[in-house]
Each structure stands twice: as structure tokens, then as C-alpha cells.
A and B are shown apart, each in its own frame.
Chain A
Amino acid sequence: METIQSLLGGFAVALSGINLLFGFLGCLLGTVVGVLPGLGPAATISLLLPVVYAMNSPATSLIFLAGIFYGSMYGGSTTSILLNLPGEAASVVTAIDGHEMAKKGRAGAALSIAAIGSFIAGTVGVIGMSFIGPPVAELALKFGAPEYFALMVLGLLLAVFLTSGSPLKGCIMLFLGIFLANIGIDPLTGRERFTFGTLELMGGFDFVTIAMGMFGLSEILLTLEKEVSSEFVTTKIGRLWPTAKDWMESKWAIIRGSIIGFFVGVIPGGGAVVSSLVSYSVERKFAKHPEEFGKGAIAAVAGPESANNGASSSSFIPLLTLGIPCNASIAMIYAALLVQGITPGPFLLNDHPDVFWGVIASMYIGNVILVILNLPLVGVWVKLLKIPFGILAPLIVMITAVGCYSLENNMFNVFAFIGFGIFGYIVRKLDFEPGPLLMAFILSPLMENSLRQSLMLSQGSFSIFFTRPISGSFMATFFIVIIWQFISKFRKSRKKGPVSFL
């Protein structure tokens, strides 16, 4: 009952004029970036961070950024289905069967089932969040420094194993992220760390500069290489509403996808991409005719699309209740909240219920907005692909460069942004995943504090992380994950020959 009352309060926040407007703008912008290849949600949120900093309401900024994040999941399916061109990574799986359906003249059915599945999964995710969020936040209030440290270590480890194909590359990115966060003056001792006497480095690197460089600029550079063609859709969209047979084949896929998405989304590093892959393989196993997968099976569109939307909603649970960002986009939303003077975590629910419940309520509204935006307006979104990249790219570079300048009104951040852009381009080309670097960067100060406090509490004994029940469970899971990784690699190598850790 208390949850429902709080949720009603959240609706009052989300339905206020300015929040409704920014929620709508977020969904609209999310759909646009989902449609446009070469610009993902992480890059877009990084571009808009300076804009968000200028807003003076944390609830409005969170509603806006959340709209971009889950809106992009909806938009991503459009180009995947019609052009076999995934607008963002989570829609890659949708392209396999979605585009095959489009080639058979059934693009309309694929698009509508993707939108309906997304709506159902998004709603399931938000309902789950409404009821699971408060008890998780309550549990997190019992966490001390050792529990937080163990949770962050486990979260980062999962991010390394799940987001990147190579655990070694993931580890390198993770340690680099922690290192970058430590540049500047040590808050406890006041000593300078790796500043080399440079005044600008004393305050350390700004999260926005790194995020904009590693996601915004590097994405532009990678796309410039490929010379994105202004290919235009020639596929006939056909009948938009699915047939009874389509419904029968999709309904369980949508339900399974929603559940998979919800649970995978909560795991750090899990997110939309992993959940859509898991859903695809699950649907293949459940299918009566698995041989149809890859040739236009509607369940292969419904499941993964539901899963990636479910995951995008549920990935807010660890952020809002534990203060742990699950992926790079959520890490940027975390940074935006910090700048607004709000620390995401268990106290958010009590200290800022308007932010917590406002964003949850906005997601209910956002899901309805997105169905309305995505189904009848599908033709408009496809036309967006006509915008030449030659116009889009300099606009993005300008916004990011000026955004970096505006942080402290100096050029140092702009040059650092270019440097991180080049670095991001090189590592992404070598298949390094930049997500763990950003997550580590944002969590590093908390990790360092928790570690120092824990060691002071235990007088230098690391046993404190293993002897307390909650932190002990996290550490046990940490070691189980590592051992499980090695065993699965070993098994694969016995079956198929040497397995690469590269």
C-alpha cells in the first residue's frame, strides 16, 4: 500500500509540466539515437551531460536521461528490421530475423511485435522496480564499508566478464579507470598524485571529459572510417498489426524475454546486449521449429526486443538503491545526479523520494509515449537516415567540445577530450570495451574510501571482507565467478581446442 501511495506521488512529479516535457524529449531523442547508426545511448547521454548540468532539478534531469536510455532501445529495432543496420548494440540480435521478415514483406509485423514486446517488458521492468527497489534500498542501509567494498568489487568483476569478450582486456580497462580517477589531490592526505605540477590536473580529470571522449568522439571517428552510406529503405513495411498466428508464436517469447531482461539487467555488466543474446538462445531452445531461426522467426524478434527493454528498466535498480551503476550509460546518469548534489544509493529513497518515485513513474508514462512514437511514426524515423553524417558529425563534435569547455571555462578539458577520443578510438578498434573504465572511474573514490575504512576497522586484516555475512557472500560470489570462468574456458578448450583469453 505504501509503495502504491509513493508511486502516486511519483506520478504527480512525472506529470508536472516540465517533467512531462523533458520525459517526452528524452523518449524522442532516445528513439532518434536508437535509429541513427553510429550514435548509441551512452554517446548521446555523454553529449547531453553539460545540458543536464544546467538544469536545476535532479528529478527532471534524471527523467530526461532515463528517457534517452530506454527510448534508444525502442528506436534501435527500426533500422535493424528495415535495413539490417542495428542503430545500437542491443538490436544486433533483432536484425538477424527481423530483417529476414522484412525481406518477406512482413516488416510491419516485426516492427509492431518489437514495439509491443518492448512496451510489455518495459512495463514489467518498471513494476518490478517499483516493488523490489524499496526493500533492496532498505537492505542496503545495513551495509557498512566492507559490504560496499565487496559489492563494488563484485560489480566491477561482473562488468569485466559480461561486457567484454576478453577478461584480460576488461581488467586493463578497469585498472586504467581506477588509475585515472586517482589523478589529482588525495582527499585524505592532501598529496598530489600524478599531477606533475600541472594546475589543471590537481582537480583530476572530469568524468564528462572522459565519457565524451571515449564514447562521443571515438564513436564519430569509428563511423567516419566506415563512411556510413545514406542508404534509404526500399523495403515495404506491409501490414502493421500482427496476425493471430504471430501472437501465438510471440506471446511466450515476450513473457520470457521480459523476465530474462529484468534479471539480467540488474546484474552489473549484464544490460541490454547480454539479455538480448540470452533471450535469443533461450527462444531457440523453446522453439518448435528452431530451424526457422535466422530465416525470419517472429519469436526471435519478440524475445530479444522484450529482453533489452526489460533490462534497460531494471538496470536502474542497482543505481537508485545501491548506488552502483550497471553499465556505461547508467554510470553517466550517476555522474549527472552527483553534479546535481544527489548521491545515488540507499538514502535516495528517503532523502529524495520525488527523484526516486518520479523517475519510476516517468518510465510508465515513457513506455506509453514510446509505443505511440514508434509504431505510427515508423516512416518518419526511417527518413532520419537521410541526414548525411557529414552534417551530424561536426554538430556532435561541436556540442561535445563546447560542453567540455563549459565545465570549467578552460581549454584543458577540450584537449583532454580530444586525447580521450583518440585513446577511445584505438582501444575500441582493438576490441577493448570502454564500459568498465567508466564504471571503475566513477566507483573508484567510493571503493578507495570503503577499503581504507574497512582496513582501519579491522586493523589491517582483510578477513573483515570474509567474516561479515553480507560482504562474505559477495566475496564468495566473486570467487565463484572467477572459478566458473576458468572452468568454462577449460571445458571449451577441451572440446574445441585452445580458447583465447585475448
Chain B
Amino acid sequence: MTKVHRIVGIIFTLLGLYISIYSFTKLEVGTITKPGAGFFTFVCGTGIFISSAIWLFLSWRKKGDSTPFWGKGEWINLLLALVITFVYALVMEPLGYAISTALFILLWQIVIAHSKPLTIILFTVLGTGAMYFLFEKLLSVPLPNGLLPW
């Protein structure tokens, strides 16, 4: 996984550098006696930059670890789960909690879990209902209505 280590190392190093420069130029670092708003973020940025740069340097020198980040097909379910969750977040407000949750469970059961039709139907209905009851009724969390009046 050395290649991924290097990429992540570069990202962290650049992030640390950016935080330090931004804190120094845009926020007020202040003085030791009177630290400003950017003092702590400047210290953090420098800390991230130094630790990541050393880590990057050491992983650059390290050889022989060629384990891939993902094994064969490992990423498929992962990507599907992320896409379904992202779509769920996108449609939760416009469609409302009940419809979007039912859709979310339905998609997950069909695409990722490959469940049987009866399980899909039961879980979609019961799961949506149970979650609605838990949040809306028991915990009094106001959920988005969307297309439905409730």
C-alpha cells in the first residue's frame, strides 16, 4: 500500500502547509503574550505539516509493500453503499423522511444485500415504521415531511 501511503502523505503535508499559511496570513497569530485567533490553528498546521512530511519521507524510503488498497472486487459494495447513502441524504428533505427511508432500505436490500423479495418488503415497511416511531414519536425529533403531509 506504499503508493496510497504516499498520496495520503502528500495530501496531509499540503493540508498542514495550507493551514499554517492561511493562519499566518489571513488570521491573526498574535504574540506569545497575547495569542490571536490564528495561533492555535497555526500550531496545528505546523504540527500536521511536520508529522506528515516525516511520515511521507519514511514511506518514500520504504520498499517492498505492494499490497493493493482494495482486494479484488472489495470496492464494489463499498461504492454502492456510499452512493445509496449519498442519494438518501440528497432526497431526504425534498421527498420527506418516510419515502426516502423506504427507498434507501429498498435499494440497499436489492443492490447490496441481495435479499429475498419477502425480506425486502417486510424490512422496508417495518424498518421505515420503526425508525419513524423511534425518532418522531419517542424522541420527538422533527423529521422532514417532504411530499407527505406527516
Contact = CB atoms under 8 A, between A and B. Distances in A.
A401 B40 contact: no
Interface in B80-134: 81-82, 85-86, 88-89, 92-93, 97, 101, 104-105, 108-109, 112-115, 119, 123, 127, 131
A51 B140 CA distance: 10
A231 to B, nearest CB: 17
A455 B40 CA distance: 13
B101 A398 contact: yes
Nearest to B74: A225
A422 to B, nearest CB: 7
A166 B54 CA distance: 12
A411 B89 CA distance: 7
Given A224-B81, A398-B104, A411 B114 contact: no
Interface string B24-64: 00011001111111101100110110011011001100100
B4 interface: yes
B139 to A, nearest CB: 4
A176 B140 contact: no
B113 A391 contact: yes
B28 A415 contact: no
A279 to B, nearest CB: 31
Contacts of A178: 40, 44, 47
A112 to B, nearest CB: 35
Contacts of A397: 81, 85, 88, 104, 108
Residue among A394, A397, A427, A448 having the largest count of chain B Cβ atoms under 10 Å? A394
B69 A429 contact: yes
Given A172-B51, A179-B48, A225-B77, A414 B89 contact: yes
Given A50-B141, A172-B55, A179 B81 contact: no
A332 B37 CA distance: 27
Q: Which of B12, B85, B142 has most chain A Cβ within 10 Å?
A: B85
B92 to A, nearest CB: 7
Contacts of B12: 172
A106 interface: no
B17 interface: no
Interface string B1-39: 100110010001000100100100001100111111110
Given A54-B139, A418-B86, A390 B1 contact: no
B32 A460 contact: yes
9 contacts: A54-B141, A220-B81, A224-B112, A405-B144, A411-B92, A422-B82, A426-B8, A429-B69, A501-B54
Interface of A: 50-51, 54, 166, 168-169, 171-172, 174-176, 178-179, 182, 186, 188-189, 191, 193-194, 217, 220-221, 224-225, 227, 388-391, 393-395, 397-399, 401-402, 405-406, 409, 411, 414-415, 418, 422, 425-427, 429-430, 444, 448, 451-452, 455-456, 459-460, 462, 500-502
